[in-house]
Amino acid sequence: MSLLGEEEEALKLSEVQTLKGHTDRVWGLAWNPATGADGVPAILASCSGDKTVRIWQQQQQQQQPQPQQRSCSSPSFHCKFRIDAKEALVLTLRFSFVLITTEARELLFGKQLATASFDAMKMLSLLLEDRHDRTVRSCAWSPSGKQLATASFDATTAIWEENGSDFECVSTLEGHENEVKSVSWNSSGSLLATCSRDKCVWIWEVLPGNEFDCVSVLTGHTQDVKMVHWHPTVDVLFSCSYDNTIKVWAEDGDSDDWHCVQTLSESNSGHTSTVWALSFNVTGDKMVTCSDDLTVKVWSVDIVRLQSGDIHASWCHLCTMSGYHDRTIFSVHWSREGIIATGAADDAIRLFGESEDQSVDGPAYKLILKKEKAHAMDINSVQWSPTGNRLLASASDDGTIKIWKLESMQGTLNHSSPNTL
């Protein structure tokens, strides 16, 4: 479905819900790819400077059926309720202390509790947060949705698995010398990549029984590596760094011999300052990157060549969007529909889409929408929901996560307003 259609419809980003619970800045978000469709409630993981990871689950609310309007559900999120033998006692106590403020609850129970808003019944959730000693910087779900990897400044990466109604840490990946900044699973879930301030990228193989073996330590970046991300269809790894470059890593044959096949630097129209994030479009033939140099760049590759196994298929610069941001852009994400969302240090979310006017040099991108003051502080992460429902999640230094819906200005097909959620 073409985003803008024949008549350009005006779009707006409406706030669906604010998720509060983290007590420090929220660094990263990840939607569980196996949820959100076919009646399965969507699940969102968030990681924070408060050293915890919170898991939020969409709750379907029953709407009164009205004959004139389409019946639909208004999505609302609550922090997923988890209970085990120890926490059952806490739960009993909780009901009698329901009026006590969050801070007092923390004192009594000695753990961080999250309360979700918008529900008549306050749902509490306890997270097993004693795993990481420092900020959890990034989280990523495996493609099957069964495991969650979390990368932390304590130089470890933890792998969590759902066990009944709880999550337990089934493995810890150690090896980096200092803060791990990002973690990413490949499309088949057989490989995991992590990167760190130690300038290295580690590739791990996922073995049965929750074993993770390091298959390669990739050096090449000259500074802190900010993010790693696998290509959506082929096993080619991308990393972006404080050294202003993006490196492409691939394996020669099947020999575990990973090496850098391409570096996108200033000399090939690359960024002139720290590259913070990258994202692929749904087909994998285009990549978008964002940087401290206040620009967003789009790159493309001959996807047929790449998918046929030619690891040296090179990426070339397609388009630079400059002049739209005036502070560092921390996050960029390409939706399945083709909309690029950016989250920046000026507290705003911007959406870009392919422009109808094709220039001679190729497709151009234009700003569709700018949501100013989307948050009270810097936005660290924006992530589109993997299902095609135009939901966008954003995480900020203010400790909140907001869920947005992109819809047309004329009036919504969902007849809910934010107050009723």
Partner 1 sequence: MTLGLINANPIVREKKERINRAEAADHDAIDPLDIYDILNLISIDLVHIVRDIRDPEHPYSLEQLSVLSEDSITVDHNLARILITFTPTIQHCSMATVIGLCLRIKLKDCFPPHFKLDIKVAPGSHADEEAVNKQLNDKERIVAAMENPNLRQLVEEFDGSRSFSFDRNNKLSASNTSRLASEIGSSHSARFTSYEKLMRLDHHVDYIASNNNRSRNVTWRFLTKIFSLKKSSGGDSEEKMSVPSKSWRPDPNSRWPLQGW
Positions that interact with partner 1 (CB under 8 A): 25, 49, 134-135, 137, 153, 155, 177-179, 181, 197, 224, 226, 242, 273-274, 292, 327-328, 345-347, 376-378, 397-398
The CB-of-229 to partner 1 minimum distance in angstroms stands at 17
Which residue lies nearer to partner 1 by CB, 190 or 273? 273
Neighbours of 247 (CB within 10 A): 23
Token duo for residue 59: 């709750």
Longest CA span, the chain: 68
Provide, rounded to whole angstroms, the least separation between the CB of residue 202 and partner 1: 16
For the four alpha carbons of 140, 143, 145 and 146, in that order, the dihedral sign comes to negative
Q: For residues 86 and 373, which CB has a smaller minimum distance to partner 1 in the complex? A: 373
Its sign, for the CA torsion 79, 81, 86, 88, is positive
**54 or 181: CB nearest partner 1:** 181
Question: Between residues 63 and 273, which has the closer beta carbon with respect to partner 1?
Answer: 273
Q: Give the nearer residue to partner 1 in terms of CB position, either 87 or 398.
A: 398
Nearer to partner 1, 345 or 368 (CB): 345
Task: Find the helix packing angle between 85-96 and 102-109, rounded to 10°.
Answer: 140
The radius of gyration of the chain from alpha carbons, rounded to an integer in Å, stands at: 21
Taking the chain, what is the end-to-end CA distance rounded to the nearest angstrom? 28
Least Å distance between CB 327 and partner 1? 7
Supply the minimum distance, in Å, between the C-beta of residue 142 and partner 1.
Answer: 25
Residues contacting 304, CB < 8 A, separation 6+: none
Spatial contact of 22 and 48, defined as CB atoms under 8 Å apart = yes
Rounded least distance, CB 198 to partner 1, Å: 8
Q: Which is nearer to partner 1, 24 or 106 (CB)?
A: 24
The alpha carbon of 189 is separated from its chain's Cα centroid by a whole number of angstroms, namely 17
- Report the distance separating Cα 264 and Cα 121, nearest Å: 51
CB of 192 to partner 1, least distance (A): 21
Q: What φ, ψ does residue 139 adopt, rounded to 5°? A: -140, 150
Q: How far is the CB of 153 from partner 1 (least distance, A)?
A: 5
Q: How far apart are CA 191 and CA 206, in angstroms?
A: 6
